[in-house]
Structure 1
Amino acid sequence: MDGFPITLSTPPEHQGPLPEAVDVAVIGGGIVGLMAAWALAREGQRVLVCEKGRMAGEQSGRNWGWVRQQGRDLAEMPLMIEALRIWRGLPGPLRRATGFRQTGITYLARTEAHLAAYEHWLDGARAFGLDSQLLSRQGAETMLPNAAGWIGALHTPSDGQAEPLRAVPALARAAAEDGVTIRENCAVRGLHLSAGRVAGIETEAGAVRCERVILAGGAWSSLFLRAHGLSLPQLSVTSSVSVTGPLPELLPGAAADDRFAIRRRADGGYTLTPWSRHEFFIGPAAFRHLLPFLPQFLADPASTRFRPMAPAGFPDAWRRSGRRGESPYEACRILDPRPAAGDLSAVRQHFARAFPAIGRPPIVRQWAGMIDVTPDSLPVIDHTPIPGLTVATGMSGHGFGIGPGVAGALADLAMGRRPRHDLSPFRWGRFRRFRQPPSSAI
């Protein structure tokens, strides 16, 4: 099953009875929500995770599998260092089940400008005590064949990887054994409020009383918030992934230059992806949030291909699919966007030029995932204006690796404690200057 994303044909594992009341309800079965739920359960809280489709059915099971400190925004670094500690500290059988291993991550430079950017990042990251190091051309050649002409690299030996399809389901089983109640095929249609505060959730299977809710809905979070009168600048882009058949080992870990990225998988193949190439399907939110996102699009216009209309069923669709009375989360239980075949074909060619002894690798599967992004590419991890509702979204492609590190801070927020890390860079109100009056018309 490695490399074959979860679909609705995958039998659900978690179908227990829906409790009448819990202490905390978590909306979304990705790694961020799951790990926060597990952290709360270890404190003795009664926790329910509701997933509209399958655990890790969307981006938590469709990502590259990198667990990296390297290249992170420095604001995320404390959370990422904690995440790596948690990944590394998983009990042996669970760690093996997730496929986690520390094999290093390398950024390869084709130009002096790339190398200077890596050096600039390293200057700031040194304060965190990382083992990252700049490599000369000779150092890069020692690590990898160098037909591509890389002039140097940035390498972090302690960074790691895990197998996304295996990791979150394995973590979910462990969390369930520790008392987390998980329900798949159980969309949350909305919140129940009393005197303006959270009083429960309404699921497709019935109501559940609770006074605290964590929204970790990935690409669906903004749509859910909007239904409750809250506007959050969040858009989603698709990222395509391919998996090769078994190949000779080029390196044990992961590497990328400005064109493509590779990761050595546990099954002997490679995950092969464009480094920075996305598709954006234009929907109503693109117009609502044009101002905050415009600088991001203008800074690197070549990285995003614009599509004229978000398909029915997408979070930002012009029209909704499904039966009358059905929520959008039931109409599309698992986002399964079509991969960009042209981009993946180009990546195969880049790979062949970099590694001519192998040539164009055999591809056994391709897919795409939908990445929830914010205007500054940092997540929102904060209380919302609705008392009792905490949100963790907009991971901007960083969620899989950093998810375990977000969990403790998210649990602190949900319990009304001072967070263990500085979350001010991720505050809810930082996009206030772009705020528009919420509307239920779209």
Structure 2
Amino acid sequence: MKPEIPTQVSVAIVGGGIIGVSCALALARKGIDVAVFEKGTVAGEQSSRNWGWIRSVGRDVKELPLSILANDIWKDIQSKVDVGYRTTGLAYLAASESEMAGHQKWLDAARATGVRAKLVGRPELPKLIPPSKRQWAGALYGEADGVAEPLAATRGIAELAVASGARIVEGCAVRGLDVSAGRVSGVVTEHGLVKCADVVLAGGAWSRLFCGNHAIEFPQLKVHASVLQTAPLDAGLDVTINGGDFTCRKRSDGGYTVSKLGASVADLTPDSIRLSTKFMRAWLNERKYLKLRVGRRFFDELMIPRRFGLDRPTPFEACRMLDPAADPGMLNDALERLKTVFPSFASASIVRSWAGMIDVTPDALPVISKVRALTGFHLGSGFSGHGFGIGPAAGQVLADLVTGDRPRVDLADFTLERFFS
């Protein structure tokens, strides 16, 4: 069934993930006429496929102001709709004194931001985690960090946005931008033109393709990440943890979401070659956790046109949802390591597993920025696997950019232009 679309709005948002719907909520609360256009369904891709972490610990220090702002917004969201948000605390466990030294270095750099984090030594660890067969040296612990349920959270924020006056149109791909006199004048959807003065692109893994069709270079690649869910069990672990070779957080349904940093794969694609000079340092820095893979995806993406007209179906209609298969080998390894380290997980069984495509940038920081090359065009993408937790804050500051209000967070580190200076 053809969705009903408006003929004109003040702001059009492309993408119904957590960034897009959070921006819509913030704009609607400002009294702005805003509509979100999603080619598939709200939270169909990575916004429902992530770990559900809302963390400050371990983040790039540049993201911490967004993280602190996000924690306050999450509390407000949970007070209005149940998104499974709760403050569990989050710990990066350290297997050695050298890892503890690394955590201390991060803490020293982060302290000036006001983040609530501390080091927990070996004697205090039993207060956080169940008996372990691994001798931990300690942990970096964020007491204000927590979790939410990704699908419920994104859809809950979307419900709040609609209740505040935003419109959300699913099953409606935006093919591209309508441009007049050097500035945005609308979006061309598969169901017709929608006039608007400003556009926010929150397209996740699709953002590079969208930008490129308008001759806007955005250095972004996709990373395949796998996750599993266990059946409910009483494992005595409420704190969300990163154990290095496994990660684990308790779910609202009593099970656990389990993965590991090494459960990510970067498929070699034509864009990998085009962007190799920008991403080489990132690949080298992450080689312990990120596996490069050569396979069918290279040829699949080679067949996707980089430039296309807006008067006929586009790649955004050809694929409504990125739905890659999970990597069972990686996930089984993560679960077995968790069971080995924490005997209370011995009976854990897998209910389901899934995967998603993470949008990454060369410096693993998002772009939250006006696009200087085209007035009225704004970009919120490249969150590099960190977007869920800071999503509500990113949506808020994107809304501030659009309306010309002073963003609550300094966005100097998140400009698109940083990649070309």
Q: 2:20 aligns with which of 33, 41, 47?
A: 33
- 1:336 is matched with 323
Whether contact under 8 Å (1:310, 1:318) holds in the other structure is no
CA drift at 1:419: 2.6
Matched, 1:77 2:64: yes
Whether contact under 8 Å (1:313, 1:332) holds in the other structure is no
CA distance in 2, matches of 1:310, 1:422: 41
2:88 is aligned with what amino acid?
T
- 1:351 is matched with 338
Whether contact under 8 Å (1:381, 1:426) holds in the other structure is yes
Whether contact under 8 Å (1:67, 1:402) holds in the other structure is yes
Which of 416-425 and 120-129 deviates more? 416-425
Whether contact under 8 Å (2:64, 2:115) holds in the other structure is no
Deviations 1:31-82 (A, max 9, x none): 1111111111111111010011110111110000011111111111111111
Matched, 1:184 2:203: no
- 2:304 is matched with 320
1:25 is aligned with what amino acid?
A
- 2:87 is matched with 102
Whether contact under 8 Å (2:397, 2:409) holds in the other structure is yes
- 2:47 is matched with 60
Whether contact under 8 Å (2:222, 2:358) holds in the other structure is yes
Matched, 1:112 2:97: yes
Q: 1:126 aligns with which of 111, 116, 123?
A: 111
CA drift at 1:16: 5.7
Please report the RMSD computed on the Cα atoms of aligned residues, expressed in angstroms.
Answer: 1.8
1:282 is aligned with what amino acid?
L
Deviations 1:278-327 (A, max 9, x none): 1111211111110010011112323222222453897xx11139xx9421
- 1:398 is matched with 386
1:400 is aligned with what amino acid?
F
Q: 1:415 aligns with which of 387, 403, 407?
A: 403
Whether contact under 8 Å (1:313, 1:328) holds in the other structure is no
CA distance in 2, matches of 1:68, 1:304: 21
Whether contact under 8 Å (1:282, 1:310) holds in the other structure is no
CA distance in 2, matches of 1:120, 1:414: 36
2:345 match: secondary structure: coil
Whether contact under 8 Å (2:263, 2:331) holds in the other structure is no
Cα distance change, pair 19–308 in 1 and its aligned pair in 2 (3 A):
same
- 1:239 is matched with 225
CA drift at 1:411: 1.1
Whether contact under 8 Å (2:28, 2:164) holds in the other structure is yes
CA drift at 1:414: 1.2
CA drift at 1:416: 3.0
Whether contact under 8 Å (1:257, 1:275) holds in the other structure is no
CA distance in 2, matches of 1:93, 1:244: 28
CA distance in 2, matches of 1:110, 1:216: 38
- 2:257 is matched with 271
1:127 is aligned with what amino acid?
A
Whether contact under 8 Å (1:312, 1:320) holds in the other structure is no
CA drift at 1:344: 0.6
- 2:348 is matched with 361
Deviations 1:195-217 (A, max 9, x none): 12101001011110001000010
Matched, 1:306 2:306: no
Q: 2:128 aligns with which of 136, 143, 149?
A: 143
Whether contact under 8 Å (1:70, 1:105) holds in the other structure is yes
Cα distance change, pair 346–18 in 1 and its aligned pair in 2 (3 A):
same
Cα distance change, pair 35–300 in 1 and its aligned pair in 2 (3 A):
closer
- 2:155 is matched with 169
- 2:308 is matched with none
Structure 1 residue ranges without an equivalent (≥5): 1-11, 434-442
Whether contact under 8 Å (1:61, 1:164) holds in the other structure is yes
Deviations 1:120-139 (A, max 9, x none): 11112222233311111121
CA drift at 1:87: 0.5
Q: 2:204 aligns with which of 197, 218, 221?
A: 218
2:412 is aligned with what amino acid?
S
Count of matched residue pairs = 414
Matches within 5 A, 1:14-53: 17-53=4-40
CA distance in 2, matches of 1:417, 1:283: 39
Whether contact under 8 Å (1:38, 1:175) holds in the other structure is yes
Deviations 1:319-364 (A, max 9, x none): 139xx94211111111111111111111121011111243262001
CA drift at 1:366: 0.4
CA drift at 1:111: 1.5
